[in-house]
Amino acid sequence: MKVIIFVVLLLIYLLFPILSFANGGDQRVVEGEYLINLSRSPFTPKAGEKTAFIASFVDIQKDLLIAEDLVVKIRIAKLGEGRERKFLFEQDNIRAKGGILEFQYTFSEQGLHEIFFDFAFSSSPQKIYNAPDFLLDIQKPEVLEKAGQPISVWIGLGAIFGFTIGWLIKRQKI
């Protein structure tokens, strides 16, 4: 039984780097009527790496995605000293069909960034809804080497250490 637990823990250890690429998101309520869910992958974006986003627009009363096409404006800003905004990206007249908008963006530098969504229904473009911002902390790119050795060396050493501990535990049991 201990060997099975050990093998499971070892597999979790070896798969952990893969799990760090999971996705997730945040939600914002707009005027008490609509909800924007912003999902991203990876969950913690890194500077210089492409991040995939999906913005879902939901009618809170119906608890369904907004079926009507939307006209969306996306703005991305970097927060500077004293919460001063510097807009890095701005695009108007993006169509969100069926309440879903997919886009990708590569952040050029680390630090706090804001994403803004302004949207209107295609049937009444004069009424613009301004959503609260989504605040993201962009991390610096990961360094895959530590002390001049590739991370695979550390994984290999961890596996050898784990097997040695497992062997010692089994040997004491016999």
- Are 100 and 49 a contacting pair, CB within 8 Å? no
Question: Mean of the per-residue pLDDT values for the chain?
Answer: 82
Can you tell me the mean pLDDT for 128-151? 78
Run of H or E including 13: helix 2-19
Residue with tokens 């605040």: 135
Question: Is it the case that residue 82 has pLDDT exceeding 50?
Answer: yes
pLDDT score, position 59? 94
pLDDT, tens digit, for every residue of 22-80?
Answer: 556 789 999 999 999 999 988 889 999 999 999 999 999 999 999 999 999 999 999 87
Please indicate, yes or no, whether the overall pTM of this predicted structure exceeds 0.95. Answer: no
3 state DSSP class of 1: coil
pLDDT score, position 10? 55
Q: 104: Cβ–Cβ under 8 A, 6 or more apart, which residues?
A: 50, 51, 52, 53
pLDDT, tens digit, for every residue of 36-51?
Answer: 999 998 888 999 999 9
